[in-house]
A and B are shown apart, each in its own frame.
Chain A
Amino acid sequence: MQTKRAIFASRVLPYWLLAPQLAVTLVFFLWPAAQAVRQSFLREDAFGLKTSFVWLENYTRLFHDPNYLNSLKVTVVFAASVTLLSVALGLLFALAVDRMIASSRLYTTLLVWPYAVAPAVAGVLWWFMFNPTLGVIPYVLEGLGYDWNHLLSPTDAMILVVAASTWKQISYNFLFFVAGLQAIPRALGEAAAIDGAGPVKRFFSITFPLLSPTTFFLMVVNTVYAMFDTFPVIHATTEGNPAQSTNILVYKVYVDGFLGLNLGSSAAQSVVLMAIVIALTVIQFRYIERRVEY
């Protein structure tokens, strides 16, 4: 990789230029993170009147808590479903648009629209469509003989939150895939076609391998999205119900910390999440960032 070097007349100037960004990082990221780590070793009542240092008790409790382990499992199922579905659908739409000549711009614009919808709004939208009493979809499903009830059925609830979260993310993946597809020289596909390769064969032996950096990149980004940015969707639809079947890790941090006022446990959970993000970021930068082509 080529490195760019800027030449500064003064030795101090670059640090001054960096200072605002560093200050923001320090105040809004590092300081709260340090607070969370500190809090995760304490047991404290809600008002902060009695504090005791409990070493790793918050963590040991956490990993012995069946609810937390359940939440981990739910998060894995949820994040994997959202990532696979949204990447696959994004790719599908990108391929479809890539084949169009005249109307591809229009379709691109339309497909990107959901990305502009705020997650909370998306959640409410899907909540209405799927509402067992008022919704359109349960009404249709009932006609087909399926009794939809995400208030009671863990599977229905999971389908609902996965659908709502995926829908929002398809646009993002779609954009990256469209860009990725345009970067692939047409000549490659045309040459293969002359040699007698059909569209499916061409996709799997030429297009898909050439898109792999993009795909890997999107996998990581989507996993992060599914684990962290889907909070509003969960909050607006199931709130982790029924029986904790959609209570993903980040939502549990909120429930335990802000509703339950169990700050120690909530902080320990945040630290675990922080470790996960750090791991994902390392993977992203070390293995994928170098190969991805925008």
Chain B
Amino acid sequence: MSTIVNWIGGAATMAAATLLSSAAFAATEIQWWHAMGGELGAKLEEIVAGYNASQDEYKVVPVYKGTYPETMTAAITAFRAGEQPAIVQVFEVGTGTMMAARGAVYPVYQLMKDAGADFDQKAFLPAVVGYYTDTDGNMLSMPFNSSTPILYYNKDVFEKAGLDPEKAPETWSDVEEFSKKIIDSGAAKCGFTTGWISWVQLENLSAWHNQSIGTLENGFGGLDTELTFDGPVQERHWENLKKWQDSGVFEYGGPVGGNDAAPKFYSQECAIYMNSSASRAGVMANAKGFEVGFGMLPYYADVDGAPQNSIIGGATLWVLKGREEAEYKGVAEFFSYLSSPEVQADWHQFSGYLPITEAAYELGKEQGYYAKNPGTDVGIKQITLNPPTANSKGLRFGNYVQIRNIIDEEFQALLSGQKTAREALQSLDQRGNELIREFQAANS
């Protein structure tokens, strides 16, 4: 009975709200195109609804546009037609393209200043913001969902193999040794698998070992940069991956995000799995019948300076020019709301993305969230392990979406035995540099 009353009451309030909002002066609409599907999308809409309910001057309208590349392409096409949204969510590899588009992008630091919003860039985590600042240290886009790769492992399989289930592998030799024990004891068929070869096993591997992947500070210093993926550590690691793939220690999960990697871990075929900290929710929901442990990414103990710090992935919010002045005031206000500790902590704890501000992290600690949910702060500890160096700040190359594809292609050529690790990485540099030169020519 009471539920019915509630329901009727709710419906009446909703109807009243609809009447009110249409009767009241029209709120300025702000379009936000995003790429968050499923549960993340629902959470995003909840956050927006929270903002819309908190004031009546602006109405943010979230629009789901598909995958990251689809969303970015949609926004760019819309810009060319003069129909762009005020806010668009762009993944980190699109950063180079967005930054070069000076006439199209309204830098966030400028926007906040123009709108007179209360905005302190120092409140954000340096490892996150560093990825999205210009050479003068100004923040160009608003961090929203940033993550970093971490290591997940199957505690039950570790136990069956006679390993300590509370001890995550720390170095790559641990990974190799543990995997062999696991396979030999029959606890699982394969040692480890990974999502995102490009992001985890190359870009982050390099940052984690303080190795450069491009001249001019990994491309931060200008369009004239050149790739240097063919360093000794990267070569050694790819050689190992090939060796491990042949001996069954490692199983390849496919290109781009590695769609087949997660099922291998969920079905207990592989005991260790490396992927985004934001995969945590999915891992917890799918890890049926076994306990999950968490750890930082493995490193080669004999490399000087390792472990350094890992780099982020995920997406930020870019503001596009060409909308009406009034909308930008709303955007600034909405961004302040988004980066407030409460909203950030809620989003971070729900999704597994990193808290982007110190305050949100502190709030989580106060709430006792990390103590109650082990493994949720591995990512943040990992990106803040050491102050970022020129090699571990991130990367910024034009045409990087295609370069990511080349990384996958060269890795496939390595695994299928067509190329050695050195040949694959050299070919990657050469092909990538051609794309970077093309980008430089089109943008200067």
A interface list, Cβ under 8 A from B:
43-50, 131-134, 151-154, 239, 241-244, 255-256, 258-262
Contact = CB atoms under 8 A, between A and B. Distances in A.
Given A49-B104, A132-B260, A258-B69, A152 B415 contact: yes
B103 A151 contact: no
B78 to A, nearest CB: 11
Given A133-B260, A152-B416, A259 B255 contact: no
A46 B97 CA distance: 8
A48 B442 CA distance: 10
Interface string B228-239: 000000000000
A244 B410 CA distance: 10
A153 B416 CA distance: 7
B321 to A, nearest CB: 10
A244 B408 CA distance: 10
Contact of A244 (B104, B252, B409, B442): B409
A44 B442 contact: yes
A151 B197 CA distance: 13
B211 interface: no
B420 interface: no
B416 A261 contact: no
A219 B337 CA distance: 61
Contact of A47 (B104, B254, B408): B104
A213 B108 CA distance: 65
A243 B399 contact: no
A166 B416 CA distance: 26
A152 B104 contact: no
A41 B416 CA distance: 38
Contact of A45 (B73, B260, B418, B443): B443
Given A47-B104, A50-B442, A131-B260, A260 B402 contact: yes
- B interface bracket (residues with beta carbon within 8 Å of A): 35 or more
Contact of B443 (A50, A154, A259): A50
A151 B418 contact: no
B100 A45 contact: yes
Given A152-B412, A256-B402, 8 more contacts: A44-B442, A132-B260, A151-B260, A152-B252, A152-B415, A243-B416, A243-B418, A261-B97
B264 A260 contact: no
Interface in B231-258: 252, 254-256
Contacts of A134: 263
B441 interface: yes
Contact of B73 (A49, A153, A261): A261
A241 B412 contact: yes
Given A49-B104, A151-B255, A261 B76 contact: yes
Given A50-B443, A133-B260, A242 B416 contact: yes
